Structure 1
Amino acid sequence: MKLYNSTGPNPHVVRMFIAEKGLSLPVEAVDLMAGENRRPPYADKVNVAGQTPALELDDGTVVCEVTAICEYLEEAFPQPPLIGSTAQERAETRMWTRRIDLNIVEPLAGGFRAAEGRQIFEPRMRLVRLEAAEDLKAIARDKLLWLDAQMAGKTFVCGPRFTLADILLFCFLAFGARVGQPLPTEASHIAAWFERVKGRESASA
């Protein structure tokens, strides 16, 4: 297998997942800033959506999209389980991963692209108006505060289990802190959780 890697939170999610699995994969860098992901050969041979990361399997099949890549790796390398060992655990992890992705990751990333990242992304994709960026950031903040209340008394998003939901949330909160979307000061449960996850060796992957 080979991982097509780049800067940004999405590749960080997959790298951290791989590190938690104890795997070591060959990596090929894709230069996002130069737009290498949007032109051949990457955009027609690897990922027609022009996004990173991508995982090339041994038979040449390419799996794209962060969740799909992690799902594949979980099935191929089930230990340690990062999605779940039972149907119930897998459903719980997927539920929280979906909530985090839709309610926090998407508006956080959209707010960045429309504001701080506008100069980079405007020539490459349709963006919401600049004025909408603050609304997107506010949505992400509101949902973070909602999640913070759900985290009371929990070690990780799924209770005692460290999962893909934690990895996704951690990587995007770390990114948000670097691009003007810090964790709300009121989110004390998530702040404590963030420090726990930050202390894991995989966090620096």
Structure 2
Amino acid sequence: MKLYSSVGPNPRVVRMFMAERGIDIETVEVDIMGGENLGDSYKQLNPSAQTPCLVLDDGTAISEITVICQYLDEISEGESLVGSTPEESAETRMWNRRIDVRILEPMSLAFRSAEALALFENRCHVIPQAADDLKATVQENWQWLDGLMAGNSFICGERFTLADIQLFIFADFGNLIGQGIPAECKNLLAWFERVAGRPSFAASVHPSEAG
């Protein structure tokens, strides 16, 4: 297998997941800043022109971060980060979906439509006039999630899962772009510190972003 990776929060989710699970895969760097992902060669692997992308030994290409992580989880030995029962797996996937729709998607679109507009305006559809509303949506949903985290160590109660990894990486990214966890969200801030203390956090950092 080969993992086509790059800078950015999406590939970092997969790197942190792999570090947690002790998975080592040959990695191919894709220069997304230079537009390598927009070329025909890469788009043959992933028509969405996004990273990461996992290419199996038979040539099958798998994209989307939660799908890649879930696949690696299923084929690897050791404690699952998705769930050891159908019920646990359903709970994790439910939270991955909620996190994606309520926080990750509006955060990413707001960033592309505002601070990173010059980079993305010719790469994908952006909505500059909606950027402020998208940022407000993210902040509202941090507040929503903070209330649900009361008394929980992690997103799925006491289980550390893929949902925590996904949200943590984007919370860390949000800190860099002005969309991080609000200061009044004490439950989420305590959760963030718990996850930040895991060795997989440092292992997820891209070499070009280290230091």
Q: TM-score range by the shorter chain?
A: over 0.9
Normalising by structure 1, we get a TM-score of 0.97
Runs of at least 5 residues in structure 2 that lack an aligned partner in the other structure: 205-211
Task: Give the letter for the 2:59 counterpart.
Answer: G
Question: CA shift at 1:120, angstroms?
Answer: 0.4
Partner of 1:2 in structure 2? 2
Alignment check: 8 A CA contact 2:138 2:179 kept: no
Mapped pair 1:49 → 2:48: yes
Task: Give the letter for the 2:41 counterpart.
Answer: P
Going from structure 1 to structure 2, the CA distance change for 1:59 and 1:150 (only over 3 Å counts) comes to same
Mapped pair 1:120 → 2:119: yes
Mapped pair 1:27 → 2:27: yes
Paired residues in the alignment total: 203
CA distance in 2, matches of 1:171, 1:199: 13
Taking the TM superposition and a 5 Å limit, the aligned residue runs for 1:55-204 are 55-128=54-127, 130-204=128-202
Q: Deviations over 1:48-81 (max 9, x none)?
A: 1100000111222111111110111111115221
SS in 1 for 2:101: helix
Partner of 2:209 in structure 1? none
Partner of 1:15 in structure 2? 15
Task: Give the letter for the 2:19 counterpart.
Answer: A
Task: Give the letter for the 1:148 counterpart.
Answer: D
SS in 2 for 1:167: helix
Question: CA shift at 1:131, angstroms?
Answer: 2.5
CA distance in 1, matches of 2:7, 2:102: 23
Task: Give the letter for the 1:14 counterpart.
Answer: V
Task: Give the letter for the 2:31 counterpart.
Answer: D
Q: Give the CA RMSD over aligned residues.
A: 0.9
Runs of at least 5 residues in structure 1 that lack an aligned partner in the other structure: none
Aligned identity (percent) is 52
Task: Give the letter for the 1:106 counterpart.
Answer: E
Between 178-187 and 91-100, the greater mean CA deviation after superposition = 178-187
Going from structure 1 to structure 2, the CA distance change for 1:40 and 1:148 (only over 3 Å counts) comes to same
Task: Give the letter for the 1:160 counterpart.
Answer: E
Question: CA shift at 1:117, angstroms?
Answer: 0.8
